[in-house]
Amino acid sequence: MPTHISLTQLENDNGATTTNDHHTETQRLKELSHTLSTNAEIDHNHTQNTTPPETTETSSDDPLENLDPKIQEAIEAKYAHLIEQALATTDKKINKVVTSQEILAASEAKYGKPETSEDASLRQSIAAARPEPKDFQLSKIMTDAFEMGATDVYIQPETTIRFKIKDVLEPYTKFRIPTRDDLTRLLTAIAPGGDRMVLLDKQELDTSYTVPKGKYQGRRCRLSGTYISPGGRTIQLVFRLLSTELKYPWDYGVPEPFWKAAHQKSGLVIINGVVNSGKSTAIGSVLKYVQEYIPGIVVVTVEKPVEYLFNNNNPKSKGSLFIQREVGTDTQSYLNGIYSALRQGPRIIFVGEIRDPQEIQAALLAAETGHLTMTTVHAEDCIGVLQRLASSAETPDNNDTNTPGTTRETTLQKIASLTRVIMTQALVTRIDGGRQPVHELLEIHPSDRDLIHAIESGNFASIRARMEDDGEDMAAKLVEVCRTETGNCYLQDAVQHAPDPTRFWQLVKTEEASGAQFNYHPDALNDI
């Protein structure tokens, strides 16, 4: 196509215009150009004070400059009044630089001073609070539970309410025994309609509850609702009381390789353990570390429910931004939440739990696309986690040819290359009544070719044997906290957390034969 297209050329190309038509059209354009240019005079003084930039004789990418001069003139004239308006609005020079202090002062003058981190946290919690039946003051019950140091509150119909305090169930007698109708009305009041439908459909509910009033107003609890016998339509409610003050990972005894993995640019970091093993607290402490020690990153959490609220106005924050989403409220599922998180520019994605193959594959995708993905997997130990991840892949015979990357071989390769740390956590009751964290840790370094090869080939038995030989398996770690000279737990309490109790007792007997002494519960004497 030629650079300049004249009216004559257009006429000759399409053969649709006569010579007389050409003369008429040319004359019309000239008159239009003259009229519009006259009405669009630009201030002469402004023109004199403006120095145009130097130009060179180079081809322009502007399509207007490639038109026939007559056509270009007519177009410019037609829009000259718009040019004049634009120049009138930009005639004043911008010579002031507004400082951040000035912006802050103007904002405070108009909207008031920003709320403190404590105010924001409380506001968020109170906003999430829901009313309670007037004749069933749950807030009073929860206030007493917090005061007494309870970790869980159990409410069943026709049964005395119980508090779990230091792993012991204690009856709570300050409130009458609730009826079946009490719990139905209570659930209706404190749980959104969507949650009640989930309970009705799946017979299980996992959501949150915020204390609406009293001394502990705004404190959050994890609410688990289930149907129990008889009849399968009796509601049981269990409230897990959450602490508002998270400590740092080292205060909870979390191994350094696990919380330092937060500095990784990508990969998969996994924690597992049984119910009540402190997984949420451990992960929460790592996220607290992220907020206060790693500058300027975006963290997206996908949870059910949101366990710990991270205030973006925290004065100790290093500029990180937390985006917290609750499954069922802010997103339909963990799977949807993961895919949505990928579009929010995060450095870290925390997924409260991955359960099914689709969620596991999505977490692997998140790690593969340059995000550090932290999550929880239900398994009894680190090897169980690897097996769970591997089981998410379809067998080659059942693969959908339109869905590549889901073969077991491919999945094992991803696990080997993406997984950074797997940690199993158990909380063992101490002799003094407290709880002792015990950890099994599996670090996967790219330089450890034997370990990488074992994962890629699915030879998990060899990995387990290696951990046992090194004394790094959970059984060996549990035995350590029961030694008389250094430990503070009874063997009878520790063995309850052993994935393989037989190996646990074998280790004890072997070490006792070498002269080691262990803490036996006094009740063990009754069995002699």
- Model pTM greater than 0.75? no
The predicted structure's pLDDT at residue 245 = 80
User: Of the candidates 245, 192, 190, which has an alpha carbon nearest to the alpha carbon of residue 212?
Assistant: 190
The predicted structure's pLDDT at residue 315 = 92
Token digits of residue 60: 């322009």
Give the list of residues 6+ apart from residue 207 with CB closer than 8 angstroms, or none.
Answer: 191, 192, 195, 222, 223, 225, 304, 305, 328
What is the spatial distance between Cα 172 and Cα 152, in angstroms, rounded to a whole number? 12
Q: Which amino acid is at 115?
A: E
Token digits of residue 135: 């004749």
What is the spatial distance between Cα 490 and Cα 499, in angstroms, rounded to a whole number? 17
Q: Are 327 and 333 in contact (CB under 8 A)?
A: yes
Domains and CATH numbers, the chain: 1-35+67-76 (no CATH), 117-241 (3.30.450.90), 263-396+408-472 (3.40.50.300)
The predicted structure's pLDDT at residue 46 = 43
Q: Which residues in the chain show pLDDT less than 70?
A: 1-68, 70, 72-73, 75-131, 192-196, 198, 200, 229-233, 394-406, 525-528
Relative to beta strand 267-272, strand 372-376 is: parallel
The predicted structure's pLDDT at residue 62 = 54
**What are the helix and strand counts (H, E) for the chain?**
21, 13
The predicted structure's pLDDT at residue 204 = 80
User: Of the candidates 181, 187, 188, 179, which has an alpha carbon nearest to the alpha carbon of residue 159?
Assistant: 179
Question: What is the total residue count of the chain?
Answer: 528
User: Of the candidates 373, 394, 398, 377, which has an alpha carbon nearest to the alpha carbon of residue 386?
Assistant: 377
The predicted structure's pLDDT at residue 90 = 52
What is the spatial distance between Cα 528 and Cα 518, in angstroms, rounded to a whole number? 16
Q: pLDDT, tens digit, for every residue of 189-230? A: 887 666 667 676 777 888 888 888 888 888 888 888 887 766
User: Of the candidates 315, 311, 187, 255, which has an alpha carbon nearest to the alpha carbon of residue 437?
Assistant: 255
Q: Convert 415-437 into a string of H (helix), E (strand) and C (coil).
A: HHHHEEEEEEEEEEEECCCCEEE
The predicted structure's pLDDT at residue 226 = 84
